[in-house]
Amino acid sequence: MRILTEGKAKFYAPTAKIVSKDMPVFYNPVMKTNRDIAVAIVASSGRKMRIADPLAGTGIRSIRILLEAGKNAESIAINDVSPSAVRLIKKNLRLNKLSGKKISIANTEANKFLLESKSFDYIDIDPFGYPGIFLESAIKRISQKGIIAITATDTAALAGTAPKACMRKYWAIPLRNELMHEIGLRIMIRRVQITAAAFEKAAVPVLSYFKDHYARAFFRMERGASKADSILKQHKMFFYCSKSMERGIGTACQSCGEGKEVAGPLWTGPLWERETLISAMKKTCNKETRKFLGTIAEEARVDSVGFYDIHKVCKSLQIAAPKTAEIMKRLRKRKIKAAMTHFSNRGIRANAGIKEIKKFIKAASAN
Ligand SMILES: C[S@@+](CC[C@H](N)C(=O)[O-])C[C@H]1O[C@@H](n2cnc3c(N)ncnc32)[C@H](O)[C@@H]1O
């Protein structure tokens, strides 16, 4: 064991060269941004929350919430199925001098833990891989307008390397090209929404992203059959033509009909609520995480499914890639909404079709 720091917390974590499920207690430093944003969501919620951390590992997520968003944490229920994780959670709480009535600790299976609890205003599902097996319990226990946060690290399924696993677990067809992460995220969102709809709840995405090796989404959960119905109306198929790079909602490529790939069903509505992003950004203490949320906040101004990979477009046009800033300048001059995307550092999200984008890129390249 060694003592690490993250945010305002100090904590014991196992010493392991390789991060894996086989660690005595799981801790992945790469997921710091994931925890930064969870803390920021609670800190910026503007209300007292009863919080659940059903898959807590070392307890670092809960400890950070208590130290960094404490006023909003009315209570926090920390759980892990592993007895050694629970021993470590207790030790880490002591290390940070955290105790008192508002903290409870359990050592049981996450579904059992949730179902045997009263309701929560924030539930963070952070499993190994696939989150689907915890969805029903979380959806049952979330309060009206409470937030459910879901992490999915089974990216082989979501991003198209394992399409059969995607069909089995997410009941959808993934895509394997430059849009795979966005499409995977939208497939994961739909999976949560259809499970919520069965309980007459609408899962409204307020902040979602794909980073490193995982998809992540925060949902505001609202009761009501008609609200759930209006979510379901925004589940559609998505087509992508590898020849023309034409893409869009539906199954038909307008231009050539060749090289067509189809993905979905998936969520075609907004991935973000800009106000949530801005207020989370303000509560983020880490500079890199703030920058990451800032990129998404700009991206959230553009409402589209999919983005354009500049290098891929240039390759198809057989031209050298112009500066991204030059393309953006030209798009904005023509009042076309455009922003960089967090999904790719070569990607532009824009309210324009591929033919138009090609024209702008050609012009910028000739400059
Ligand atoms: C990815 S780790 C959680 C990491 C932690 N949330 C963090 O931010 O560092 C998943 C944790 O879930 C626990 N776990 C796995 N299956 C579980 C289950 N069915 N019920 C409760 N805990 C479970 C594991 O012991 C592990 O500690």
Tell me, what's the pLDDT at 159? 98
- Ligand 1: distance of its center to the CA of 25 in Å? 9
Which residues lie with the beta carbon below 6 Å from any ligand 1 atom? 26-27, 31, 35, 55-58, 60-61, 80-82, 85, 109-110, 126-128
- Helix, strand, coil % (nearest 5) of the chain? 40, 25, 35
Alpha carbon distance 236, 86 (integer Å): 42
Tell me, what's the pLDDT at 257? 64
Q: Which two tokens stand for residue 319?
A: 């031209």
Ranges assigned E (strand) in 224-298: 235-241, 247-249, 260-267
Specify whether the CB–CB gap between 348 and 312 falls below 8 A: no
Alpha carbon distance 359, 284 (integer Å): 39
What are the CA-CA distances from residue 194 to residues 127, 230, 240 (Å)?
A: 20, 11, 24
Tell me, what's the pLDDT at 243? 87
Q: What is the pLDDT of residues 198-254, one digit of tens each?
A: 999 999 999 999 999 999 999 999 999 999 999 999 999 999 998 889 999 988 766
Q: Is 80 helix (H, G, I), strand (E, B) or coil?
A: coil
CA angle, 56 then 78 then 72, to 5°: 110
Alpha carbon distance 228, 202 (integer Å): 4
CA-proximal residue: ligand 1, atom 17 (nearest): 81
Tell me, what's the pLDDT at 37? 98
What are the CA-CA distances from residue 94 to residues 12, 63, 90, 310 (Å)?
A: 11, 10, 6, 51
CA-proximal residue: ligand 1, atom 4 (nearest): 57
Q: Which two tokens stand for residue 247?
A: 């893409």
CB atoms within 10 A of CB 239: 19
Of residues 70, 111, 69, 66, the one with CA closest to residue 89: 66
Tell me, what's the pLDDT at 60? 98
If one residue of 6, 30, 31, 55 were mutated to test the ligand 1 pocket, choosing by the most ligand atoms within 8 A of its CB, it would be 55
Local structure of residue 173 (DSSP, 8 states): B
Q: Which two tokens stand for residue 324?
A: 């991204």
Specify whether the CB–CB gap between 54 and 88 falls below 8 A: no
Domains, the chain, in order of start with CATH, read 2-299 (3.40.50.150), 308-366 (3.30.56.70)
CA-proximal residue: ligand 1, atom 10 (nearest): 127
CA-proximal residue: ligand 1, atom 27 (nearest): 57
If one residue of 35, 128, 150 were mutated to test the ligand 1 pocket, choosing by the most ligand atoms within 8 A of its CB, it would be 128
**Tens-digit pLDDT profile for the chain (367 aa)?**
999 999 999 999 998 888 889 899 999 999 999 999 999 999 999 999 999 999 999 999 999 999 999 899 999 999 999 999 999 999 999 999 999 999 999 999 999 999 999 999 999 999 999 999 999 999 999 999 999 999 999 999 999 999 999 999 999 999 999 999 999 999 999 999 999 999 999 999 999 999 999 999 999 999 999 999 999 999 999 999 988 899 999 887 666 666 689 999 999 999 999 999 999 999 998 999 999 999 999 999 999 999 999 999 999 999 999 999 999 999 999 999 999 999 999 999 999 999 999 999 999 998 7
AA identity, residue 308: Y
Q: Which two tokens stand for residue 84?
A: 């050694």
CA angle, 237 then 241 then 245, to 5°: 115
Alpha carbon distance 209, 186 (integer Å): 10
Specify whether the CB–CB gap between 128 and 153 falls below 8 A: yes
Length of the chain: 367
